[in-house]
Amino acid sequence: MSHTTDLIKNVSIAGHGGTGKTSLFEHLLFAGGVIPKAETVESGKTISDSTPEEIDRKISIHAALAHIERNGKKINLFDTPGSSDFTGDVILTFRSAEFALLALDGRSGVQIETVKLWRNLESRGKPRGVFVTKMDDERAGFNKALGDIKEKFKADPVIVTLPMGQGAAYKGVIDVLHEKAYLAQGDGLEKEGPVPEEYQAQAAAARERLIEAAAEGNDDLMERYLDKGTLDPAAVQQGLIQALAGNKYVPAFAGAALKNSGLIPFLEFVSLIGPDPRTASDTGLDAEGTQKAVPIDPDKPLAALVIKTGYDQFSGKLSWLKIIQGKLSADSEAFNAAENKKERIGKLYTCQGKKLEEVRELYAGDVGIVAKSATLKTNDTLTAGDGSLKFLPLRLPEPVHSVAVNAAAKKDDDKLGEFLLRAMEEDKTFRYVYNAETKETVISGMGELHVNMILDKIKQNQKIEVETHIPRVPYRETITKKAGAEYTHKKQTGGHGQYGRVVLEIAPLPRGERYKFINAIFGGAVSKGYIPGVEKGILEGMAAGTMAGYPVVDVEVKIVDGKEHPVDSSELAFKLAARNAFRESMRQSAPALLEPIMNLTVFVENKYLGDVMSDLSGKRGKILGQDSVGGIEEIRAQVPQAELLRYSIDLRSITSGTGSFSMDFDHYSPISGKIAEEVIKAAQAFRVQETEE
């Protein structure tokens, strides 16, 4: 059954690993009547953790989608991974949902991934709520968790469901909006009843705060609230809808998923109050490449974004789409703006985890699946028109952990490449490139777990043995002083010979300017027709420096003189002369090695701060700044790439697996002394190995 835009609600359930997201997702589906029984993560039978690697590791690795019918609304629920290694699938759900629910462990409150997720949501202006889980645990604290939110994010959550007790004394929750109690029944559904007398004062205070939040919905409601001191139930609902869509308050929920508690009032709230897709928009580029907001609108022509690509052993390739405008129909045609061609749409599906359910249409605001499309890929835009609109691609973090790989058996190299390409198509935070400079196939991901999981999957499913090693660092060479040299290329082989003489002067350029060529020939010593050959020779000489064979950068090269022969000169002769003249000039220019320096941002709990700072100092890091963000320490530093090749492993060891980081390239910086000697020695050994192979 297809649902129109006004009947759709999209919710992403996200949070730090171990906060109970998958259990919450599973039990919501039970409470919503989708499944007859909620399974445990340990059983390997949950709706969302359905792949072999998730069942084996007992963690969520991929985003999962399911839906619930409530009050005539279709609630699309996304379950997301908690590990930073799989953050790409969290981000695609933030792009697709109009409301994010952050799960907080009632025992731990705000954790590192909570901070990072909150910051991501803040950058999007995305409405969000918090669900304090595991309230039946003796160490749980609802008020403590909300206090954590208030202190660390300067946001004062508005209680929608109030827990009745905690730990062994936990009884259930109070639906503050509807002034009802929901008593936990263990394996069964919650039992609705009146608010117990001992909680009436708390519930009344929470309801007053809820009415205040509703008054923020619009100016008219605020005036009525200030005038009368309250709002009637219809106005409260209207105000809460508008204020939440405008991200003006953070609703807070409590519960114990394994006891099926706190679920029904949450579903009631989402179905009645949760943001309508029509209040949201996406961002696209028009035909001129100008960014513009694209409102979610069912009355406009079709526009949809491919948010994810997956492969199922039975259904084949699956393309997940978020419909932004209009509707997409089965057995129709759409225009793929990325491929600049028409796309044949066959069957359409929604899903309950891995179970596909066929539908005829998907309306704006909905998320669905196209099966077996040969050309659709993540970030493609489908439209009804001519491709004048393209949605911005997903904003994904850069990979932080890389390894060089090759098949143990040469015959498997092509097959390995094929499956690495597929992995990259499924996961846009995974990279697979052949580095021609270092002559290595390098794969990169969000952490050691991420990369190893992909390699394990290839090994188990395709029976390919893969060898891995630390990638070579892409060093550079440069010069530190002016120099000059000449070279005459002369060869006589019978008939026409080869002749070209080139005189070059080279000088250092500021870091990052790479290369500048100047033709300073006067009087026609070298004809203009040979100058392109001279520049080609210089660029060939720069491709491999004289110290360790790394590319040369930040050099100005000037041809000041030369000589040609009326018969024997050619572009090839001048290219060879220029290449050798450059190399000779470089030997005289006090060449230096350059290493890549990375911007590094590390997130750690305060108790690990000293150890992390000490480790960075030992890695030749330069600390740029430090902040406390949401109670988590954020350290900004610049560190040589060579020191960070195993940093995901090092940081995990230092912080007992709780720390995380991001990094990107910043600049190249000179190295000398023992470090440079070791780099040169390693490069020479690599060239010897290449020659022997």
pLDDT tens sequence across 634-655: 999 999 999 999 999 999 999 9
CA distances for 106 relative to 111, 135, 140, 307, angstroms: 11, 6, 4, 32
Cα–Cα dist 293/284, whole Å: 6
- Other C-beta atoms within 10 Å of 398: how many? 12
Cα–Cα dist 614/220, whole Å: 57
Please indicate, yes or no, whether residues 329 and 296 belong to a single structural domain of this protein: yes
Number of domains in the chain: 5
Alpha helices by DSSP H, 130-245: 142-153, 200-215, 219-228, 233-245
Beta bridge partners of 632: 629
Give the long-range contacts of residues 449-452, CB within 8 A, separation 24 or more.
449/83, 449/85, 450/85, 450/86, 450/401, 451/401, 451/402, 451/403
Tell me which of 55-59, 251-255, 451-455, 469-473 is least confident: 55-59
Please indicate, yes or no, whether residues 488 and 540 belong to a single structural domain of this protein: yes
CATH of the domain at 365: 2.40.30.10
pLDDT of residue 320 exceeding 60, the answer is yes
Please indicate, yes or no, whether residues 66 and 122 belong to a single structural domain of this protein: yes
Domain for residue 3, yes or no? no
**Residue where a domain stops, chosen among 261, 277, 293:** 277
Tell me which of 47-61, 544-558, 614-628 is least confident: 47-61
The H or E element that residue 471 is part of is: none
Please indicate, yes or no, whether residues 76 and 179 belong to a single structural domain of this protein: yes
What is the per-residue pLDDT for 495?
A: 66
pLDDT of residue 693 exceeding 60, the answer is no
Domain for residue 323, yes or no? yes
Reported as a pLDDT band with limits 50, 70 and 90, residue 24 is: very high
| Per-residue model confidence as pLDDT tens digits over 380-431 | 999 998 778 999 999 998 898 999 999 999 899 999 999 999 999 999 999 9
**Residue where a domain stops, chosen among 446, 472, 498:** 472
CATH of the domain at 119: 3.40.50.300
Please indicate, yes or no, whether residues 452 and 490 belong to a single structural domain of this protein: no
- Give the orientation angle of helix 219-228 with respect to helix 233-245, to 10 degrees: 140
Domain for residue 462, yes or no? yes
Alpha helices by DSSP H, 411-542: 413-426, 448-462, 531-542
What is the per-residue pLDDT for 553?
A: 96
Domain for residue 39, yes or no? yes
Structure tokens at 229: 């001191």
What is the per-residue pLDDT for 573?
A: 94
pLDDT of residue 113 exceeding 60, the answer is yes
Please indicate, yes or no, whether residues 256 and 405 belong to a single structural domain of this protein: no
Domain for residue 123, yes or no? yes
Reported as a pLDDT band with limits 50, 70 and 90, residue 204 is: very high
What is the per-residue pLDDT for 435?
A: 86
Give burial (CB, 10 Å; 0-12/13-18/19+) of 493.
Answer: exposed
The H or E element that residue 13 is part of is: strand 8-15
Please indicate, yes or no, whether residues 24 and 109 belong to a single structural domain of this protein: yes
| Per-residue model confidence as pLDDT tens digits over 472-485 | 999 999 999 999 99
CA angle 305, 345, 342 (to 5 degrees): 75
Please indicate, yes or no, whether residues 55 and 81 belong to a single structural domain of this protein: yes
CATH of the domain at 557: 3.30.230.10
Share of the chain above pLDDT 90, in %: 80
| Per-residue model confidence as pLDDT tens digits over 588-628 | 999 999 999 999 999 998 899 999 999 999 999 999 999 98
Looking at per-residue confidence, does 684 or 532 come out higher? 532
pLDDT of residue 64 exceeding 70, the answer is yes
Domain for residue 417, yes or no? yes
| Per-residue model confidence as pLDDT tens digits over 166-199 | 999 999 999 999 999 999 997 789 999 999 999 9
Structure tokens at 469: 């090693």
Please indicate, yes or no, whether residues 139 and 85 belong to a single structural domain of this protein: yes
CATH of the domain at 451: 3.30.70.870
Tokens 């400079």 label which residue? 437
| Per-residue model confidence as pLDDT tens digits over 242-297 | 999 999 999 999 999 999 999 999 999 999 999 999 999 999 998 888 999 999 99
Amino acid found at 365: G
Instruction: State the greatest distance between any 2 C-alpha atoms of the chain, in Å, as a whole number.
Output: 111
Domain for residue 692, yes or no? no
Domain for residue 236, yes or no? no
pLDDT of residue 632 exceeding 80, the answer is yes
What is the per-residue pLDDT for 494?
A: 64
CATH of the domain at 650: 3.30.70.240
What is the per-residue pLDDT for 670?
A: 95
Please indicate, yes or no, whether residues 341 and 421 belong to a single structural domain of this protein: no
Q: What is the DSSP letter of 520?
A: -
What is the per-residue pLDDT for 637?
A: 97
Average pLDDT, the chain: 93
What order do you get walking across the sheet with 161-164 strand by strand? Answer: 161-164, 172-175, 180-183, 191-193
> What is the secondary structure of 290-348 as a DSSP string?
-EEEEE-BTTSPPEEEEEEEEEETTTEEEEEEEEEESEEESSEEEEETTTTEEEEE--E
What is the per-residue pLDDT for 692?
A: 59
Share of the chain above pLDDT 70, in %: 99
Please indicate, yes or no, whether residues 29 and 167 belong to a single structural domain of this protein: yes
What is the per-residue pLDDT for 312?
A: 80
Q: What is the mean pLDDT of residues 54-62?
A: 85
**Residue where a domain stops, chosen among 341, 376, 411:** 376
Q: What is the mean pLDDT of residues 17-37?
A: 95
Please indicate, yes or no, whether residues 631 and 547 belong to a single structural domain of this protein: no
Domain with 586 in it:
480-590
